[in-house]
Amino acid sequence: MKLTVLACASGLGLSSLEAQTLPQVVERALQVYPSIQTANAKAQAAQSDIARARSAHQPQIGVTAYGNQYGSGSIPSSLGRTTISPTAKLNLWSGGKIEAEAQRAEALTKAAEQQRDGTLEDVAQQASEAYLNWDKTADLYSLSVRNLNSHRETLDDIQKISQVDTGRRIDYEQALVRMENASLALQQRKADLAQAMQKLRRFWAEDMDARPVGLEAALAENGVLGQIPMSLAQAVQRVTDDLPSIAQYKAQVVAAEAAVRMAKGQYWPTVDAAMSRQYNTNTLRFETFTQLQVNAPVFNGGATSASVEAAQGQLRAAQFALEEARLLAREKAALAWQEWASAQSRAGVGSTQSDVGDKVVEGYQNASRSAMGVAIKSMMKPRVTVVVESAQLMSQLMLASANWQFAAEVTFFDSVTEGLLDLSSNRPDMLVVEMSMPRAQQEKTLQALENFNNRGRAPLSVVLVTEEKDLLSKHTSGTTNSIQVVSGPMSPIWMHAYLTGVVASCQI
């Protein structure tokens, strides 16, 4: 019954919302779903049958027309070639058959109406379940996305570790398999979400949002779906004969009792008063002819007794069906309440496990990144790009670098433009630029490097060696400046000392 109330509430105050909320979906389903239209048509047809049954109490009036012709060809003038005779008949006593048939029609009408109410409940429940399933699959899809992202981050960490520690290659392979499984799970959740939305379209054919909205209000304690009995006994006590699935069978029992009275009424005579206009051969004219008709059954081969026994058998069957409906309704309510209680418990445990899982993943990533940091600092070589436009200084550095024994990868460029272009494809850990060009060109180079660092990625550590005294880097207030300006000139001895410090800092 809650679901029907939910639909009524949606019609009162939620019609102005743009998004499809749960009450709106239920309301739309109760208005246009085909099975509800079928149940309404059946209830209307049963209602019409009551008038048909009670019409037997009313006078039956008709007109009979005759075309007269004798073999001799001579027709009395008092008779004429055509005769029109009105007839009227009124039942005075039927042994209770007419009233029993009317009561049976009323009971069947009530059964049809209860069946319609049961159909409303079923459709409302199906629409609500489809909406809630949509919300569940959307949450599961979001969790799958988070799960895949966590596996991808872990895989990236392990890949970096395995690059410097080849013994951890098997860890990388296992992490890769886990990430592929997470990707497959994501695809399955995506398909489940599409199927859930397709099922919901049975009740809501218009465009749908990406996620359900307004569920918190419906599921709150004072919401329609939040009013759950506190115990199993309270849930079972709410199952009464007013429930549509039970009231329908109860009405069928009443109809079966009326059918028994109809069958027993065949034992009794029927009394009718009939009136017609007929030709009186004595007076040779048409006169009103009135009859009192009594029809009493004497012997019909046991047909009446068989009809009574058949009706009584149908009555017993209806009574047993009513008892079964009560048992099934109580069982359904008990199972639903137990499933709800179990779901509440599982939800609590699942939330705890999810929190623990998040902490485990975070701890594992922190541990792996810590190990990765130690491994990288001890084993990986820093990559340094050096840009020198002075041809003489470049030749001196190239000659001196042949004797350097550094745990570092040093790449030389003789053009600032070439060095900047290389940053997009081969990003180093550090950039050193010797600027001996005119001041205007130095300022443009500084601006280009600042623009590169402001593109959203982690800023690149840059050292500019110049003899200009007031060439300072402009940077955003409150942030660490990653571009340092060092007084020149640059020399092979200066570069050797600088790279020595870089290697030492990376191994700390």
* Residue 172: predicted pLDDT: 83
The stretch 471-485 carries a mean pLDDT of: 59
Of 249-258, 411-420, 475-484, which has the strongest mean pLDDT?
249-258
Whether the predicted pLDDT of 65 surpasses 70: yes
Sheet of strand 461-466, all strands in order from the earlier edge strand to the far edge: 409-413, 383-388, 430-435, 461-466, 483-487
pLDDT in tens, 241-291: 999 989 999 999 999 999 999 888 888 898 989 998 887 878 878 888 898
More confident residue, 30 or 373: 30
Percent of the chain with pLDDT over 70: 86
* Residue 373: predicted pLDDT: 55
* Residue 457: predicted pLDDT: 66
Give the predicted TM-score (pTM) of the model.
Answer: 0.59
More confident residue, 83 or 28: 28
* Residue 380: predicted pLDDT: 60
* Residue 477: predicted pLDDT: 40
The stretch 292-296 carries a mean pLDDT of: 88
Instruction: Catalogue the E-assigned strands of 297-441.
Output: 383-388, 409-413, 430-435
Residue 291 CB neighbours (<10 A): 11
CA distance 89 to 91: 7
Whether the predicted pLDDT of 321 surpasses 90: yes
* Residue 480: predicted pLDDT: 47
* Residue 15: predicted pLDDT: 39
* Residue 287: predicted pLDDT: 85
* Residue 9: predicted pLDDT: 41
Whether the predicted pLDDT of 73 surpasses 80: no
* Residue 76: predicted pLDDT: 73
Structure tokens at 77: 């003038």
Confidence of residue 506 (pLDDT cuts 50, 70, 90): low
The stretch 295-302 carries a mean pLDDT of: 88
* Residue 385: predicted pLDDT: 87
Whether the predicted pLDDT of 18 surpasses 60: no
Instruction: Catalogue the E-assigned strands of 214-357.
Output: 270-280, 285-295
Mean of the per-residue pLDDT values of the chain: 81
More confident residue, 332 or 6: 332
- C-beta pairs of 144-150 under 8 Å, 24+ apart in sequence: 144/182, 144/185, 144/186, 144/189, 144/190, 145/186, 147/182, 147/185, 147/186, 148/179, 148/182, 148/183, 148/185, 148/186, 150/361, 150/365
